[in-house]
Structure 1
Amino acid sequence: MSTPASLSTILQPALSEDEQDAVTDLYIRGTPPNTLRAYERDLIYITAWKLAAFSAPLAWPETETVALRFILDHSRDLHDASNSARGAAEHLIAQGLRKTLACPAPSTLDRRIASWRAFHRMKNLASPFDAPLIRQTRGKARRAAAKPRAPKSANPITLDVLEAVLATCDHSLRGIRDRAVLMLGWASGGRRRSEIAGLMRADVDLKDYPADGLIWINLIATKTTETGKTPRLVLKGRAAKALAFWIEMGGITDGPLFRPITQNDDPLARKLSPDGIYQIVQKRIAQAGFPKGFATPHGLRSGFLTQAALDGAPIQAAMRLSLHKSVAQAQKYYDDVEITDNPATDLLG
């Protein structure tokens, strides 16, 4: 992946040209593509904001005054403001870099600050966002904007929901593909849609399938694991049969594992996008008779863990498939189970 022009200006500490090239190459190879794209978008945004707010380009290192103003400008609603903060926001809106004058989500501000700090680290410079006053101000702003966290999926896709959704998948190639997508996404631990879409045929090991009915899945990387350090996942039973059937019927010998299907029910050569996974889940949820917005692809992940809790599976066993690093994070799904449905209430029979 080539370095975007605006980002390449950041990757230039006071080194020789050869050393700069080597550092740039390390950052490119050592940073996930999605992170690089996020860095690029954030750099474009903060550069435009600094120009609109101060009529000046970014400085390295940046001043604490600029850092404080950035936090203040992005921690309040500007609809009723008539100051320079609103003027800068309107410039960003005109450039398509900001949607409204409403206060941005705290997570968006956190990400942009994290990127700005990363740019300083790339240049071996101290970040103004590490100053005590700036850190305290950011903490106060985050608490002031705190809202109850909305779930990524309105409802978990537990086994009963999944069965209803799978029943909508017919024997067309599209139905065969969708059944495999849903079963792999659920049974392998609740995979994220980006992980499902990113699978290649080479990531699927069928050598144990004929004798033992097992399929091994090799994820290159996930949100919580590093490239090359993700443990192999296993599919068995109905999920393994669904995936093997898709591979056979789709003629998937190499390249992307899941692909778009034409109106003539033929697979294309390119991979299915994460948005394609989203559309599959939405379509099948609706066809199963559930209301619009009932669940999203994250419902596969939350549904797997919720079902594990309902079935009395130890949380550590579920986490080996879901690949959660934090027990506290995975525990939230276990805590969502109604106490009357908790298998522990039936220990005496």
Structure 2
Amino acid sequence: MTQPTPYLPAAPPALSAEDQEALTDLYVRGTPPNTLRAYERDLLYITAWKAARFGVALDWPEAEAVALAFILDHARDLEDAPQEDLAREAADALIAQGLRKTLACPAPSSLDRRIASWLALHRMKNLASPFDAPQVKQARSKARRAAARPPAPKSQHPITRDVLVQLLATCRGSRRDCRDRALLMLGWASGGRRRSEITGLRREDVSLKELDAKGVVWISLLETKTTVKGETPLLVLKGRAAQALVHWIEVAGITDGALFRPVSKADRVLSRRLSPDAIYQIVKHRVALAGLPEGFASPHGLRSGFLTQAALDGAPIQAAMRLSLHRSIAQAQKYYDDVDIAENPAADLLG
């Protein structure tokens, strides 16, 4: 497999090697880790696609014809295409390399994300992108409309309060149970945290200074998908969620470093932090222990469940967004709209 091209090109004459290295470092430090990983995955896919489709490596800047071919290849189902179809041959090669799952038309969001990464890499190289050409832009718009489909939920079911209670009931007395109870309650009650936000927390991000006086724990997130470093507002934990987190800190003996950590089979707390995938496994495990159907909910269910419960309880959407840190009210409104109209508190205004 052809290896992806580095993010930045060779240093131009006007830029010294030291400045080029500093520029590369600036891009890495100024880009969220999840975005960097997405760039790497998408660059690997795009590089493999062009090698399979045209037999050559990527060009910088890329030709408009190649960008157009990329859109056309990903704007139709290839299951019924002839074996000698060029798009079908390239897709088969990607499937053989484990970079593509099926010959079905990819979701428009997948195509948009890969194009966005390709665009970003052109900008990093200070190059014009072929996706800005009028014909290519129009083809991309038509492809998005032609393949439009209802967005699939990130979690099959929201983890509302009653579902969360079922999951928490499976957490008994071991250190692993204490960790999972604290993790689930923090992830839900602090506004529906994403996996990367939970695993990125450190003991230093938790303030217990108002615990005795007010029963409140303050959480400081370094950054989120919708906020940047240093601008993320403090989040609050109260009641059972605050108690569960403090209990985990005490049981695990955590004084600094990662807040949530792996627990060995011997129930010993390890020093490294949990990975985002471990959050998925924890939710999956607790769903199974609670007797719920396989695949009932994923970690995103904590986020969707928090907003769904806020809607069910009649909490103003602005108050819920203050904790969820949604940037778009339209995005948060989707969870409110999903609440059954019969359960809407406004339906009982007359009594």
Question: Which letter does structure 2 place at the counterpart of 1:145?
Answer: A
Shift of 1:244: 0.4
Corresponding residue for 2:58? 58
Q: Does 1:208 align with 2:201?
A: no
Say if 2:40 is the partner of 1:40: yes
SS at match of 1:6: coil
- Amino acid of the structure 2 residue aligned with 1:245: H
Distance change (3 Å), C-alpha of 1:267 and 1:149: same
1:74-153 matches, within 5 Å, as: 74-79=74-79, 80-81=81-82, 82-153=84-155
Match of 2:219 in 1: 217
1:275-302 deviations in Å (ceiling 9; x for gaps): 2111221222222222222211111111
Work out the CA distance in 1 between the residues paired with 2:72 and 2:4: 29
Distance (Å, rounded) in 2 between the aligned partners of 1:5 and 1:253: 41
Contact 1:224 1:323 in 2 (8 A): yes
Q: Which amino acid aligns with 1:68?
A: L
Instruction: Specify the alignment match of 2:21 in structure 1.
Output: 21
C-alpha spacing 1:297/1:44, structure 2 compared with 1 (3 Å): closer
How far apart in 1 are the matches of 2:15 and 2:162? 62
Shift of 1:95: 3.3
- Secondary structure of 1:134's aligned partner: helix
Contact 1:170 1:176 in 2 (8 A): yes
Q: CA RMSD for the aligned pairs? A: 1.8
- CA displacement at 1:170 relative to structure 2: 0.5
Count of residue pairs brought into register by the alignment: 346
Preserved contact between residue 201 and residue 260 of structure 2 (Cα < 8 Å): yes
Residue identity over aligned pairs, in percent, reads 70
Contact kept, 8 Å, 1:310 with 1:342, in 2: the verdict is: yes
**Residues 1-349 of structure 1 aligned to structure 2 (within 5 Å):** 6-10=5-9, 12=11, 15-17=14-16, 18-79=18-79, 80-81=81-82, 82-349=84-351
Q: Return the alpha-carbon distance in structure 1 between the equivalents of residues 170 and 253 of structure 2.
A: 23
* Aligned equivalents of 2:281, 2:267: Cα separation in 1: 17
CA separation of 1:306 and 1:226: change in aligned 2, threshold 3 A: same
Q: 1:14 to 1:153 in 2, by over 3 A?
A: farther
Q: Deviations over 1:113-171 (max 9, x none)?
A: 11111121112221110111111101111111111111111111111111122111102
Asked if structure 1 preserves the Cα contact closer than 8 Å seen for 2:4 and 2:43, the reply is no
Q: Secondary structure at the match of 2:110?
A: helix
What TM-score results when the alignment is normalised by the length of structure 2? 0.93
Partner secondary structure for residue 231 of structure 1: coil
Task: Provide Cα deviations, 1:42-100, integer angstroms capped at 9, x if missing partner.
Answer: 22222232233223322222211111011111222223232222222333333333333
How far apart, in 1, do the equivalents of 2:333 and 2:24 lie?
40
Against the structure 1 CA distance between its residues 341 and 199, is the aligned structure 2 distance closer, same or farther, given a 3 Å change threshold?
same
Instruction: State the shift of 1:250 in Å.
Output: 0.9
Seen in structure 2, the aligned counterparts of structure 1 residues 5 and 135 have a Cα distance that, compared at 3 Å, is closer
Please state whether the residue corresponding to 1:262 is helix, strand or coil. coil
> Is the 2:195–2:279 contact (alpha carbons within 8 Å) kept by the matching residues of 1?
yes
Residue identity matched to 2:41: R
SS in 2 for 1:234: strand
SS at match of 2:25: helix
Q: Any stretches of 5+ residues in structure 2 without a counterpart?
A: none
Q: Secondary structure, in 3 states, of the residue corresponding to 1:281?
A: helix
The structural deviation recorded for 1:231 is 0.6
Which residue identity lines up with residue 69 of structure 1 in the other structure?
Answer: A
Unaligned 5+ residue runs, structure 1? none
- Secondary structure of the residue that 2:236 maps to in structure 1? strand
Question: What displacement does 1:218 show?
Answer: 0.7
Question: 1:224–1:286: structure 2 CA closer, same or farther, 3 Å change rule?
Answer: same
TM-score of the pair, normalised by structure 1: 0.93
Query: Aligned pair in 2 of structure 1 residues 136, 231: CA closer, same or farther (>3 Å)?
Result: same
Whole-Å separation in 2 of the counterparts to 1:291 and 1:51: 42
Q: Within 2, Cα distance between the matches of 1:83 and 1:284?
A: 46
Cα distance between partner residues in 2 of 1:46 and 1:13: 25
Give the superposition deviation at 1:5: 8.0
